[in-house]
Amino acid sequence: MATLTLAHRELYRRAPDERFPSIDALIDYCREQQRESRDLWKTPAQLQFAEDDLGKVHLRTGSDGAMRLNEWSFSQFCRLASVSKDTVNRVSGETASQILRETMPQGDRPLQLLATGDRLRSVHGVTYSRLWNVDLLTAVREVAGDYGPPQTAFNEATGLYCGEQDLFAFLIDPTGWIEVEDEQFAPGFFVWNSEVGKRSLGMQTFWFQRVCCNHIVWGATDVSEFKRKHTGNIRDSLDDIRRLIEVQTAKRDAHRDTFASLIRKSMQQKLGDDANEVAKTLLKYDLGKEVVARAMKQLGDAGKPFTLWNLVDALTQQNVSLTYAGDRLDADQTVAKLLTLAA
């Protein structure tokens, strides 16, 4: 089983004003953010960089008024101009404005600017397609009415976040708990998006055993992930998001029987009584000799039988030592497949 840390990382990087107490409050905020925003299509020749009264760079685009750059839009302009953000940050606002004026690529192809109030939130080329956070959350709520945030974390965060750069929501189904051999499981998912291109649109669905006060998800299984870049008709992905939730919801009642039965069988079924025989079977699943050896030693030292359940648990604990998150996810998914051996 996997240990999921996406919500844990969000918990520690979010400022208090990016946290929301409920899904309704989050949707209201995103709707207001959309209402106050506007898309502007401008050619590079129409961009006028200058120093404001505070010594910072601001942008004018003709009659649209002055717009303040935030960290993200400033970074995007530096990348477009192929100049170092750190270098531009070390000079005066007047010099920084001149650098951007002189290094911005020219041409007739327009740029897509997103302004919210007097803040310029992002700048993109013509291939970028925006998906508003409120549209994503509305689609989620349509098919996930039974889902809500988990218990609040130690700092009272609920797992629902939105700032200028991106959105993240952690939701679980409080009605979906099942109990198997004194172990409990429930369905949940993470969903994320960025209106400014900071991150892809994505979703991760799973069944889990518990969530701690740091919003680490423990004992996750049946993990499925969906990601989509903001290109083309990104709105089509809303149907994919709906289907993922509908599939999980449809599985909920079936899982109460079939999933519970699978777990019970895995707690009883052994891959063999002999450690060497069990290790040979595990190595067929491309788990790696060292990982298998450590997991076998862990069970042997604890005096536990080589049941599928104990082996999956031990192997998942070994995967925590992998350096990269992508490698851990791949390894956890490989280990989870062992449960299908339960006859």
Query: What confidence score (pLDDT) does residue 202 get?
Result: 95
Contacts of residue 40, Cβ cutoff 8 Å, sequence gap at least 6: 61, 64, 112, 113, 114, 115
- What is the sign of the dihedral through the CA atoms of 266, 268, 270 and 275? positive
247 and 277 part of one domain: no
Query: What confidence score (pLDDT) does residue 181 get?
Result: 60
Q: 133, 130, 143, 222: which is closest to 169 by C-alpha?
A: 133
Residue 120 located in a structural domain: no
88 and 19 part of one domain: no
Structural domain range at position 63 = 44-108
For the full predicted model, state whether its pTM sits above 0.75: no
pLDDT, mean of residues 153-178: 92
Residue 104 located in a structural domain: yes
Higher pLDDT, 52 or 318: 52
- What does 93-118 look like in DSSP terms, one character per residue? HHHHHHHHHHHS--SS--EEEEEETT
pLDDT tens per residue, range 108-143? 899 999 999 899 999 999 999 999 999 999 999 999
Residue 115 located in a structural domain: no
Give percent of the chain above pLDDT 70. Answer: 90
9 and 55 part of one domain: no
Arithmetic mean of pLDDT over the chain: 87
Last residue of a domain, one of 108, 123, 156: 108
14 and 52 part of one domain: no
pLDDT tens per residue, range 36-87? 999 999 999 899 999 888 888 999 988 778 899 999 999 999 999 999 999 9
278 and 142 part of one domain: no
Domain count of the chain? 3
Hey, which of 193-197, 212-216, 254-258 has the most confident mean pLDDT?
193-197
Residue 136 located in a structural domain: yes
Q: How many CB atoms lie within 10 A of CB 218?
A: 14
Last residue of a domain, one of 108, 141, 160: 108
Query: What confidence score (pLDDT) does residue 201 get?
Result: 97
pLDDT tens per residue, range 263-313? 777 888 887 777 888 888 888 877 778 888 888 888 888 888 888 888 888
Query: What confidence score (pLDDT) does residue 330 get?
Result: 66
Helix, strand, coil percentages (3-state) for the chain, rounded to 5, are 45, 25, 30
Query: What confidence score (pLDDT) does residue 235 get?
Result: 94
pLDDT, mean of residues 250-266: 68
| Residue carrying the six token digits 């080329």 | 125
pLDDT for residue 329 is more than 90: no
Residue 116 located in a structural domain: no
* Alpha-carbon gap, residue 303 to 292, rounded angstroms: 16
Residue 218 located in a structural domain: yes
Give percent of the chain above pLDDT 90. Answer: 55
287 and 207 part of one domain: no
191 and 218 part of one domain: yes
Residue 273 located in a structural domain: yes
64 and 147 part of one domain: no
Last residue of a domain, one of 230, 257, 284: 257
171 and 201 part of one domain: yes
* Alpha-carbon gap, residue 138 to 131, rounded angstroms: 12
Residue 38 located in a structural domain: no
141 and 243 part of one domain: yes
195 and 293 part of one domain: no
182 and 61 part of one domain: no
